[in-house]
């Protein structure tokens, strides 16, 4: 968002939608939804609304269907409160960032565990062969 206006509009849309969700929708499929980010195109015609859902896959699927069904109502709410000439279209996108972050944390923990194992093995290791494997020039006494 290079344009400061798009940033302000995105922030305002996020607040409007979050407040509306906080009031509640009359859809029983809607779970505990958090709006994580809103991205607005430069021409303010389209807004991508990223959200997360607390719960299992069934709760996520139900919330996605509820948000899709409520998109028109949300858009009118945004249009009323935003006060711009055009109301952007809304697209709700499930935010994969928390799952990705959790997976990344697990991978980092596994890498740390393996590093500790390697360090423990290296602590008791000995070099193979002689202590000084380099060939040295012979002394003249040894040559006789």
pLDDT digits (tens, 9 = 90+) for 55-105: 777 878 888 888 888 888 888 888 888 887 888 888 888 887 766 677 788
pLDDT for res 46: 92
H/E run at residue 89: strand 89-94
Torsion sign (Cα): 14, 16, 22, 27 = negative
C-alpha 3, offset from chain centre:
23
Distance CA 91, CA 94 (A): 10
Averaged pLDDT for residues 100-118:
83
pLDDT of residue 123: 81
- Rounded to the nearest integer, the mean pLDDT of the chain is 81
Range of the domain at 27: 4-99
119: its two tokens: 């360090």
**Number of domains the chain is built from:** 1
- CA-based Rg of the chain, rounded to a whole angstrom? 30
**Of the ranges 5-19, 21-35, 121-135, which one carries the lowest mean pLDDT score?**
121-135
Rounded to an integer, what distance in angstroms lies between the CA atom of residue 50 and that of residue 38?
6
In a domain, 70, yes or no: yes
pLDDT of res. 1: 45
> Within a domain: residue 113?
no
pTM, two decimals, is: 0.63
Whether residue 79 is contained in a domain is answered as yes
In a domain, 134, yes or no: no
Q: Which residue has the higher pLDDT, 137 or 72?
A: 72
pLDDT tops 60 at residue 136: yes
């Amino acid at each position: 968002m290079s344009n400061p206006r798009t940033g302000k509009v995105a922030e305002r849309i996020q607040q409007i939608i979050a407040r509306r969700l906080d009031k509640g929708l009359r859809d029983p499929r809607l779970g505990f939804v958090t709006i994580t980010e809103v991205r607005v195109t430069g021409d303010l015609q389209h807004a991508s609304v990223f959200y997360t859902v607390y719960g299992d896959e069934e709760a996520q699927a139900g919330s996605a269907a509820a948000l899709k069904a409520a998109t028109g109502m949300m858009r009118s709410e945004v249009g009323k409160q935003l006060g711009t000439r055009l109301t952007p279209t809304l697209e709700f996108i499930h935010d994969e960032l928390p799952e990705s972050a959790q997976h990344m944390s697990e991978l980092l923990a596994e890498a740390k565990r393996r590093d500790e194992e390697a360090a423990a093995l290296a602590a008791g290791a000995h070099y193979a062969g002689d202590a000084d494997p380099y060939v040295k020039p012979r002394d003249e006494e040894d040559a006789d």
